[in-house]
Amino acid sequence: MLKTYQRILIESLFFSALIALPAHADTKPTFKIAWSIYAGWMPWDYAQKSGILKKWADKYGININLVQVNDYIESVNQYTSGGFDGCTMTNMDALTIPAAGGVDSTAVIVGDYSNGNDGILLKNGSDVKALKGQSVNLVQLSVSEYLLARALEQSGMTEKDIHVVNTDDADLVSAYGTPAVKSIVTWNPLLAQAKQQPGSHEIFSSAQIPGEILDLMVVNSNTVKAHPELGKALTGAWYETLKVIQGNTDDAIKARTYMAQESGTTLQGFDAQLADTYLFSTPAQTLQFVDGPQIQTTMKSVAEFSFQHGLLGPGAPDASAIGITTPAGNWGNASNLKLHFTDEFVKLAAENKL
């Protein structure tokens, strides 16, 4: 009887160990990526919904949790505070929030540049000069204010000629619907909604400063150095998704219809937003831009704007306080390199080595 009991006990322990083994064997590094609704970032949503993201994560033995954050700036803040390993954001916000906050960050993918997806609207006015003396509602210290500053500059004006009213992005469209608000600066899909207001005119858009407002997938530099498989998986998933969603095949239309619904518009409306987004649809296109000189020029302009608006931190002595690296060369403080544009993973994609 004792031997039978011992045998049962041993067998029980043995099978318990076997049951526990897969849980340990399946443990994978897990990474959290934040994103928010914007035409150029909707492919990430489809990548997750379709299983493309999981497929690439599985290929590299990792888990990627893509998390939607409804407030864009809050998503960047949460990434900066360590709540996420990566986040979709613009080049300006990458500089002024995580990099300025001391978080070493790498743009593993330059997905597109805004080519009309950001704009300035004015009721009953036809050009930027009509803004003089007006109040302009926007998300202050965001890429919208940068767009406004560039528009004013091209018209021989400065922000001293207008009055900026800080307004949350969630409130911009409703505010523009009131008689008191005459002008706003925003991005799609909010821009498309606000354009419907009677008497509204788009007096300036990002199409007039091509290549300056970049939409990125930014990952903590220490994380991607320790886990290059994260950069590979994200890059592989991104370009496979772009291949699926483009064109007029049934699969492409189905994918874009899903993204349109998730962003609160119709397929026609979403396609119009995509038309205002210069997507780098292949790794080769991305590589040509990332390896070129424009990123350096653009980031210098962005850094100067950011310094003038106090966005580089109270201790920043000048616009070059934060060092920026690009494949074409670096700009700024070489001893404080905090923002990196890399072609490492896009090169692998272009060479079919992912």
What is the identity of the amino acid at 339? L
Q: Does residue 13 register a pLDDT over 80?
A: no
Burial state string for 225-261 with b = 16 or more CB within 10 A and e = fewer than 16: eebebbbbbbbbbbbbbbebbbeeeeeeeebbebbbe
Q: How far is CA 123 from each of CA 30, 119, 132, 177, rounded to the nearest angstrom?
A: 48, 13, 13, 10
Select from 3.40.190.10, 3.40.50.1970, 3.40.50.720, 3.30.70.3190 the CATH code of 30-114+212-350.
Answer: 3.40.190.10
Q: What pTM value is reported for the model?
A: 0.87
Mean pLDDT of 271-297: 95
Question: How many Å apart are CA 163 and CA 172, to the nearest integer?
Answer: 16
User: What is residue 17's predicted lDDT score, i.e. its pLDDT?
Assistant: 43
Phi–psi pair at 197, nearest 5 degrees: -65, 135
Q: Does residue 21 register a pLDDT over 60?
A: no
Q: Domain locations in the chain?
A: 30-114+212-350, 118-208
Q: What percentage of the chain exceeds 70 in pLDDT?
A: 93
Strands (E), the chain: 30-35, 63-68, 86-90, 105-114, 118-123, 135-138, 163-166, 183-187, 200-205, 214-220, 277-279, 323-326, 329-331, 337-341
Residue 81: CB atoms within 10 Å: 11
CATH number attached to the domain at 118-208? 3.40.190.10
pLDDT in tens, 36-80: 999 999 999 999 999 999 999 999 999 999 999 988 889 999 999
User: What is residue 169's predicted lDDT score, i.e. its pLDDT?
Assistant: 86
Helices then strands, each counted (H, E), the chain: 15, 14
Angle between helices 228-245 and 250-262 (to 10 degrees): 110
Q: How many CA atoms lie within 13 A of 271 on its CB side?
A: 13
Question: How many Å apart are CA 177 and CA 87, to the nearest integer?
Answer: 31
Q: What percentage of the chain exceeds 90 in pLDDT?
A: 86
Domains 30-114+212-350 and 118-208 belong to one CATH topology: yes
Rounded to the nearest integer, the mean pLDDT of the chain is 92
pLDDT in tens, 122-160: 998 889 999 999 999 999 888 999 999 999 999 999 999
User: What is residue 84's predicted lDDT score, i.e. its pLDDT?
Assistant: 98
Q: CB-based contacts of 69: which residues, under 8 Å, 6+ apart?
A: 34, 35, 36, 75, 78
Q: Does residue 296 register a pLDDT over 60?
A: yes
User: What is residue 26's predicted lDDT score, i.e. its pLDDT?
Assistant: 59
Question: How many Å apart are CA 318 and CA 329, to the nearest integer?
Answer: 20
Q: Does residue 314 register a pLDDT over 90?
A: no
